[in-house]
Structure 1
């Protein structure tokens, strides 16, 4: 029996998360929010020194545990310098194009308090620069942040308390449509966090039992490559990352159903764990497709690169215009949440994974046999076409 996902709860959590600014390096408030919601759901969150969250839902045994990981941090920007005209030169937090920064409303977090502003091209007025507004190159050197405060010089801006290094949050500007489409910045990975919370809510509401402990992990620096590098424990044998999958020309991802990543730029995901996700989608009637991402990494990559010996997989919700003004659909979010819940309650197939090191007995095999490929009727037994 499939575990039903509360779609209204998932949507409410996504809206609440999008209202909280959380560029990498400025994630304290969203950590407080997420911790509070986990407590309300009955889990006890544990925080690392910097605020990554680990909450355990107990299963039938501790060893060989599973982990579900999402990230709370988003893209953003930082003050690179205060310019002579009082405006701010900015650099990105995470990897995203200045093309998507132009026109964005933002909040600058300074030691003196927050300030509102807009990121603009350095030649923003056609009445002044004529065709130069169209020929200006795209890049972070060609934009500046106009602060909504009385300042026309470097000295006046510094006097406000704004200085080099201040973090800048980009407004998400969300729009949730009745037909299920959601447009917003920062759906990567706040939609993933909402999926994780909805899966937990469903497991708690149905009092579902799991064969092993399930660790729910929420990292705070995935956008800069740190991710799940330091939050796993030795009990965790397999980890499922919940993140976005890019639906774009040349990709097999979609904004509907689950997109199961077979590989990213760090290499293939675990064969057996990925196959298990496909099998669960088939048995639970969850629409899915597979994809390979060439210019993409996630919490799974950071965990493996940090030396954690865990099986990893990546289940994604299809996202259009990733790291820009993104679009997703509720169908994908609910589909991924259903898969996450199904994985949590599914049986453990590789029992030796409960031990970090053991002998060859019980170690897995991968299929190598030649596939059955019978000849079509028009060919005879010798392989010659019948004429």
Structure 2
């Protein structure tokens, strides 16, 4: 790769990777294909990595020191659905994979993945879909997964037809992303959560590799495969990480303070507050580098960081977000937000470890940091 003096985020690379990720189906429980694609990308970048049994990826960028380790995590899995029942009318009852509203499922084009390589295309529809038949009932039927069904583009008009086709209860449904990249920087697609975060993280890795930058301490890039169902980063840390930054979406909505064109730092989500010191270190980097940013608090939200803590890891955690409108629905992000996110991550991995004492699991009170520690203004402490 071409060597540069200063690492820079390649906007075109970020967008190219994002498009390739969005076109790769990866609902929770069916992530093998995207794991292979991200692994191939890491190989192209010359970054060593290893996989857990189920396919979570741990990539390693070596630093000048090996401890206290850092990690940045983004998730590869997305929302989806699963076949609950084969219906007498030849349609399929569904349940969601992950938490999302059936309101956003209506009209979605999907692929059903069954046994022995079976794939079928179809559309998720309200059970009462035709105004010519149901009149005003199309507007009064409840919004719930029991009130939608999957219509396969096959000659299926009975449960027996579905059985002959090879459809089974438990088949996985991948929802088309349908990405649209606009010249003004807006990106519309399903599953930007969290493939936009993955693309930003890979762009950071590429910037480091192309510039030949040696970071001060080891940093692990983690790509998890079950965040949407609550497991996330619980099985990929191996106890050697002191600082974990989770990448996910910040909700652009009434009552929120997320920055739609910058990066947002979450102070707390439904699992509780994030680490005081690590979060304020990131805020300081934003101010120093002139990165547009905001703070927010999320009531109905959790990330990979929560799973990591619940698994028993004693680590400092922070959550950094790109601004996402209509999360878990018809999502939209702006490339400026992704670039701001990437710039913050790039600044972080080049900064010294927050506290050298964090290299040890236990330590004395003498070097324990306080909330008003003035050394935090310098981006690190001993």
Which bin holds the TM-score, normalised by the shorter protein?
A: over 0.9
Following superposition, the deviation at residue 3 of structure 1 comes to 3.5
SS in 2 for 1:98: coil
Output the CA distance in 1 between the equivalents of 2:354 and 2:301.
29
**How far is the alpha carbon of 1:221 from its aligned partner?**
0.1
1:168 matched to 2:154: no
Among 77, 81, 90, the residue aligned to 1:73: 77
Correspondent of 1:268 among 270, 273, 289: 273
Q: Does residue 1:248 correspond to 2:253, yes or no?
A: yes
> What is the aligned partner in structure 2 of residue 125 from structure 1?
130
Whether the 8 Å contact between 1:248 and 1:320 is mirrored in structure 2 is yes
**Do the aligned partners of residues 368 and 237 (structure 1) sit closer, same or farther apart at CA in structure 2, a change above 3 Å counting?**
closer
Matched, 1:59 2:63: yes
Distance 1:227 1:180 in 2: 30
- Structure 1 residue corresponding to 2:99, chosen from 83, 95, 100: 95
> How many corresponding residue pairs?
369
* Aligned-residue offset at 1:362: 1.3
Aligned mates of 1:220, 1:154 — CA distance in 2: 33
Kindly indicate whether the alpha-carbon contact (under 8 Å) linking 1:75 and 1:223 is maintained by their aligned counterparts in 2. Answer: yes
1:361 Cα shift?
2.3
Classify the secondary structure of the residue corresponding to 1:63: strand
Residue of structure 2 aligned with 1:319, choices 319, 324, 327: 324
Return the match for 1:107 from 97, 111, 135.
111
Does the residue aligned with 1:228 lie in a helix, a strand or coil?
helix
Q: Residue deviations 1:154-185, cap 9 Å, x none? A: 01101111100000000011111000000000
CA contact (8 A) 1:87 1:147 kept: yes
**Aligned residue for 1:303?**
308
- Secondary structure at the residue paired with 1:172? coil
CA contact 1:86–1:152 (8 Å) conserved in 2: yes
> Which residue, 7, 11, 16 being the options, matches 1:12?
16
Q: How far off its partner does 1:349 sit?
A: 3.0
The yes-or-no answer on 1:343 pairing with 2:356 is: no
TM (normalized to structure 2)? 0.95
Q: 2:147 aligns with which of 139, 142, 162?
A: 142
The CA deviation string for residues 248-288 of structure 1, in whole angstroms up to 9 with x for no partner, is: 00000021111010000010000000000001011111110
Pair 1:50-2:54 in alignment? yes
Q: Does 1:21 align with 2:39?
A: no
Q: Could you tell me how far 1:368 is from its partner in structure 2?
A: 9.7
Match of 2:204 in 1: 199
SS in 2 for 1:115: strand
Deviation at 1:4, TM superposition (A): 1.7
**Which 10-residue stretch deviates more, 351-360 or 24-33?**
351-360
Offset from partner CA, 1:285-314 (integer Å, 9 cap, x none): 111000000000000011011110110001
Deviation at 1:234, TM superposition (A): 2.4
TM-score after normalising by structure 1: 0.94
Compared with structure 1, are the counterparts of its residues 107 and 329 closer, same or farther at alpha carbon in structure 2 (3 Å cutoff)? same
Q: What runs of 5+ residues in structure 2 fail to find an aligned partner?
A: 375-382
**Are the equivalent residues in 2 in contact too, given 1:3–1:338 (CA < 8 A)?**
no
Q: Which residue among 361, 364, 372 is the counterpart of 1:367?
A: 372
Q: What is the CA-CA distance between 1:208 and the residue it aligns to? A: 1.1
Structure 1 counterpart SS, 2:174: strand
Contact 1:173 1:184 in 2 (8 A): yes
Distance in 1 between residues matched to 2:236 and 2:215, nearest whole Å:
22
Give, in whole Å, the separation in 2 of the partners of 1:197 and 1:151.
43
Q: Per the alignment, in what secondary structure is the counterpart of residue 170 of structure 2?
A: coil
Q: What are the superposed Cα offsets for residues 102-122 of structure 1, whole Å, 9 maximum, x if unpaired?
A: 000000001141100000000
Question: CA offset at residue 2 of structure 1?
Answer: 6.8
Equivalent residue for 2:377?
Answer: none
Matched, 1:82 2:82: no
Q: Which runs of 4+ in 1 moved over 3 A?
A: none
**1:211 aligns to 2:216 (yes or no):** yes
Task: Report the RMSD for the aligned CA atoms in angstroms.
Answer: 1.2
| Matched-pair contact (CA < 8 Å) for 1:2–1:284 | no
The DSSP-based 3-state class of the residue aligned with 1:249 is: coil
